[in-house]
Amino acid sequence: MLFSRRRLAAAALALCAATAGCSDLDDPGQGLTRNDLVADLAAQMTAAADLTYEASYQLPGGAKATVAQTRKPARTAYVYPGGKVTVTADATTECRTAKTTTCTMTAPASAASPPSAKVFAVAGETGLVTPATVLALLNAAVLDSDVEVAQHDTTIAGRHATCVQLTGVDDAAARDFSTCITNEGVLGSFNGILNQTRVDVAMTHYSEQVEETMFDLPPAAKLVDRRGT
């Protein structure tokens, strides 16, 4: 799905890159405000829900994590040190690895009832930032007319990305942060204080092919089914 605002942003940024002495994004002559740019990035992330991809990330301290999703069937997996979360049409399953691995299944998520933040608590402790978290922060910034925005382009894991540094976002889990979103709408990086914890995440690999094993539960895991409660 293409968004008119996305077309406007892409055209303006392309012109900006190709023209010497390009003026600030807040210049009325550009026809594009900084809040428009943030809204465009949020729209790209929303559209990325229709993608099939697998992305690997480096977490603080050198740890690794992977986010994978497919659309047919619709499912998502988050793999991080010490655990894994899979979201499918059948269940939301959180697995924790200790001396033994325990996987707890809860009711399947939907657009009206997304996965509980509790299932990502351990993932957050490792430094993994989910795309949904970044999307919520961008949407909060769009509604804040006083937020300060600085923008630049870069390449992350071979993908072109637009980066924004946001300062003074009200009513958000992170007031000051920077994030890069690839042209596909995939989270490229995030850096900032999120829920009072320093987070620094960067994508190291991107593929449009997803290994089927990404959605498998760990072998010999103990299953706890709470879908009926």
> For position 33, what pLDDT does the model report?
63
| Residues of the chain below pLDDT 50 | 1-32
CA 55 – CA 64 distance, rounded (Å): 11
End-to-end CA gap in the chain: 37
Q: DSSP secondary structure string, 102-142?
A: EEEEEPPP-SSSPPPGGGGHHHHHHT---HHHHHHHHHHHH
Cα–chain center distance at 34: 20
Q: Where are the beta strands (DSSP E) in the chain?
A: 53-58, 64-71, 74-80, 83-87, 92-97, 101-106, 148-156, 159-167, 177-182, 187-194, 197-207, 222-225
> For position 137, what pLDDT does the model report?
95
**Domain layout of the chain by residue ranges:** 4-12+29-49+131-207, 51-128+210-225
Nearest 5°: the CA angle 223, 91, 214 is 80
Burial letters 47-82, b for 16+ CB under 10 A, else e: ebbeeebbbbbbbeeeeebbbbbbeeeebbbbbbbe
Q: With contact defined as beta carbons under 8 Å apart, do 57 and 180 qualify?
A: no
pLDDT in tens, 20-43: 333 344 443 343 467 899 999 999
Question: Burial level of 42, CB count in 10 A (0-12/13-18/19+)?
Answer: buried
> For position 181, what pLDDT does the model report?
98
- pTM exceeds 0.85 for this model: no
Q: With contact defined as beta carbons under 8 Å apart, do 178 and 163 qualify?
A: yes
Helix, strand, or coil here: 185?
A: coil
pLDDT in tens, 55-68: 999 999 899 999 99
